[in-house]
Copies of this chain bind each other. A is one copy, B any other.
Amino acid sequence: MPDKLTIVKIGGNVIDEPEQLKSFLLDFANLPGLKILVHGGGKLATGFSKRLGLEPRLVDGRRITSDADLEVAVMVYAGLINKSIVARLQASGCNALGLSGADGNSIVSQKRPVGEIDFGWVGDVKQVHARNIRLLLEAGFTPVFCALTHDGQGQMLNTNADTIAAELAIGLSGNFETELLYCFEKKGVLRDVEDADSVISTIDSASYARLKTEGVIHQGMLPKMENCFRALQGGVRKVLIGHPGLLANPQDVHTRLRL
């Protein structure tokens, strides 16, 4: 039987809360077995962009990644946040190793084709080099991925952290029994956004279709849900959405996705 591999994605809102982040990193360090952490960016990058005098560029409400934005993303995601997380996991006895998709050629993406909008330096994942990541896991390291990839031609690209987590889980499902946990500030997918306790315990393809039609699942959650279902279709054994506390207490309320 293949080894179990847990892939945890931690959202930007948790990164922005020092106490929550601290307790999450401790729980993650204590998680037994093979594991990978994928982290989002949080508000730090926006803060630095402002201090550098950069104005966010939006086209039709969609954020564009300019040259300067990419520089800030690489500095904040791969530098400040990634190394801070790695150093803290190391302090808790977890042999963390920080990576972007360029490191070890682990995640190759392609610049999003220019359609009605040119999104700038945004990359859509093309290939996960599972072998290289497996070598790191087998050598005893815990990979910590930031939300950056490369195109294999020398260009770094901004890539959605939820998508990276899903693609890693799919790419490694040939070697491991993979479990994917999306941790964010809520306890799961809510039936009523105003009610933090209205967590939907299971969502399958059929109920997802209904929830979309009823408008229960909102705009912002849709890409995350698509990543969840793509992961399940790609061979990931278990996909959960929940609060970071779920790591230490798997019995806590959460949303489980099923095909």
State the majority secondary structure of interface residues on A. Answer: helix
For residue A152, CB closer than 8 A to chain B, the reply is yes
For residue A140, CB closer than 8 A to chain B, the reply is yes
Beta-carbon nearest neighbor of A54 in chain B: B51
Q: Which residues of B contact A140 (CB under 8 A)?
A: 132, 135
Q: Which residues of B contact A148 (CB under 8 A)?
A: 83
Beta-carbon nearest neighbor of A78 in chain B: B79
For residue A153, CB closer than 8 A to chain B, the reply is yes
B79 contacts A154, CB within 8 Å? Answer: no
A105 to B97, CA, bound (A): 8
For residue A16, CB closer than 8 A to chain B, the reply is no
Q: Which residues of B contact A53 (CB under 8 A)?
A: 51
A104 partner, pick from B52, B79, B95, B153, beta carbons under 8 A: B95
A80 contacts B90, CB within 8 Å? Answer: no
Q: Which residues of B contact A135 (CB under 8 A)?
A: 139-141
New A-B contacts (9) at CB < 8 Å, excluding given A75-B79, A83-B102, A90-B105:
A74-B83, A78-B78, A78-B82, A79-B79, A86-B100, A88-B154, A90-B150, A90-B154, A98-B100
For residue A155, CB closer than 8 A to chain B, the reply is yes
Q: Mark A127-141, 1 if CB is under 8 A from B, else 0.
A: 000001001100111
**Interface CB pairs A-B, < 8 A, 22:** A48-B52, A52-B52, A75-B75, A75-B79, A75-B80, A76-B79, A77-B79, A79-B80, A79-B82, A83-B103, A86-B102, A87-B156, A88-B154, A90-B105, A90-B152, A98-B99, A98-B100, A104-B141, A132-B141, A135-B140, A136-B139, A139-B139
A79 contacts B90, CB within 8 Å? Answer: no
A98 to B90, CA, bound (A): 17
